[in-house]
Structure 1
Amino acid sequence: MPGLAWPLETTTRVQEGFFSEEKRFAPDTLLILDFIESCYRSIAKPIQGSYHSFFRHHHLSFDPKAGREEFRGDVNRIFARNGIAYELEKDGQIIRLLPPVLEHDLSSGLFRTGDTTLDQMLEDSRLKFLNRDPKVRRESLERLWDCWERLKSLETPQNKKQSVIALLDKAADDPSFRKLLDDEARALTDIGNSFHIRHSEVTQSTVTDSCHIDYLFHRLFSMIQLLLKKRGLAP
């Protein structure tokens, strides 16, 4: 596999001026996950058969299903013991495990918002967020903020400002909580405009930290979910 040496390299020598130092080394995470998936597709459990007395060896057969199941169990055990948020599925694909607070709402891709375009946009965002590649997961924020802008125009398409007011009015009767939602709606819009999420100006900051991506996704998804539920159309 390109980029992966065998025997597996665990150290590398770094040259610094006249001196060199051996340091720990690990291949890129996505490359390792690709390698595990490749092994899963090719692995099979050897089954010892009858003994061949002349050549003095046993006949072997191979059980791919049993081999994959055992390999999958070993890999997932290693992931779990080391706190690595990935899981090897039965289809041979490695998925990223969701934060517990999001797992229930994002485990299935069935959205019924009353707007087919918004349904598809939410599903696009969900699939990107589940992706193990951090770059693709970052794109989930862009898509989710697009969902936010579309949702804000659903009540009164001709007047977005009035549409937002109507949407928030449906979500809360209590004045204090209504103000909280209004402040949060403004803050979320500002986040989308200030960071490299909806726009690409050089002055904007790019969100790269995986924990920050989880936080922002959860924050906006929770808001969207609340507004849709109060609108009578839960995602």
Structure 2
Amino acid sequence: MEIENNFAAVHEVGTRELLKDAVALYKTPNPAARQDSVEKIWDALERLKTYYTTLDKKHSSKKIVNDMANENDDFADLFNNEFKVLTDIGNKYRIRHHETDRIDITDVRYYDYFFSRCLSLIALAIQYLR
């Protein structure tokens, strides 16, 4: 089953559209689209954190992580850390921000790694959304 089949579970339209756009860009044969696909998947990650609109970003993220962890503190720590690391990557490298002090991604093969890592966390998280 392709990951896109799980996107229907994402009821928040903006997040769902970012995910669809990211995967579509990633699948295009144009290597230049890799950078755009990574930017879109990171935007989807950031938007996912605010999925529960009745909660602020911090509490929405916490709810997502707690649901994923099934009340297991070890997994809660793992998922919290992964969300934080991915946020830090998005801010430190030239993925979402393009200021001159960001680290350039000089090897296009890194985009595959970044895309897959971010999509993996999102794919798991959306299975727990309510």
Same fold, TM exceeding 0.5?
A: yes
Alignment of 1:105-120 (within 5 A): 105-106=2-3, 111-112=7-8, 113-120=10-17
Aligned partners of 2:38 and 2:111 also within 8 Å: yes
Larger RCO, structures 1/2 (Cα 8 Å, 6+ apart):
2
Contact 1:126–1:140 (8 Å) recurs in 2:
yes
Could you tell me which of 3, 6, 24 is aligned with 1:127?
24
Name the structure where helix makes up a greater proportion of residues. Answer: 2
Pairing partner for 1:216 from 114, 123, 128:
114
Partner SS state of residue 230, structure 1: coil
Quote the Cα distance in structure 1 between the aligned partners of 2:13 and 2:57. 19
Contact 2:6/2:127 (8 A) holds in 1: no
Matched ranges for 1:28-47 at <5 A: none
Q: Tell me, what secondary structure is at the counterpart of 1:202? A: coil
- Higher strand proportion, which one? 1
Aligned match of 1:191: 89
Instruction: Check if 1:180 corresponds to 2:39.
Output: no
CA distance in 1, matches of 2:48, 2:102: 24
| Cα separation, partners in 2 of 1:213 and 1:157, compared to 1, 3 Å | farther
Question: Which residue number corresponds to residue 105 of structure 2?
Answer: 207
Match of 2:45 in 1: 148
Q: How many residues align?
A: 128
For 1:137 and 1:217, the matched residues in 2 are separated by 8
RMSD in angstroms over aligned alpha carbons? 1.8
Deviation (angstroms), 1:157: 4.9
Task: List gaps (5 residues or longer) in structure 2.
Answer: none
Return the alpha-carbon distance in structure 2 between the equivalents of residues 167 and 183 of structure 1.
13
Q: Is the 8 A contact 1:167 1:227 kept in 2?
A: yes
Counterparts of 1:124 and 1:109, CA distance in 2: 14
Give a deviation string over 1:1-29, Cα, whole Å, max 9, x none. xxxxxxxxxxxxxxxxxxxxxxxxxxxxx
Change (3 A) 1:221 1:159: same
Q: Normalising by structure 1, what TM-score?
A: 0.51
Aligned residue identity for 1:165: K
User: Counterpart amino acid of 2:85?
Assistant: A
TM-score (norm 2): 0.89
Which one-letter code corresponds to 2:81 in the other structure?
A: D
Structure 1 residue 159 and structure 2 residue 56: aligned? yes
The runs of at least 4 consecutive aligned structure 1 residues that moved more than 2 Å come to 108-111, 206-211
- Please identify the structure whose Cα radius of gyration is greater: 1
Unpaired stretches in structure 1, ≥5 consecutive residues: 1-103
Query: Is contact 1:109-1:126 (8 Å) kept?
Result: no
Report the Cα offset of residue 109 of structure 1: 6.6
Q: In percent, how many aligned pairs have the same letter?
A: 31
Answer yes or no: is the 8 Å Cα contact 2:92–2:102 preserved in 1: yes
Distance 2:86 2:101 in 1: 18
Q: Secondary structure at the match of 1:183?
A: helix
Whichever residue aligns with residue 38 of structure 2, its letter is: L
In structure 2, how many angstroms separate the alpha carbons of the residues matched to 1:205 and 1:194? 6
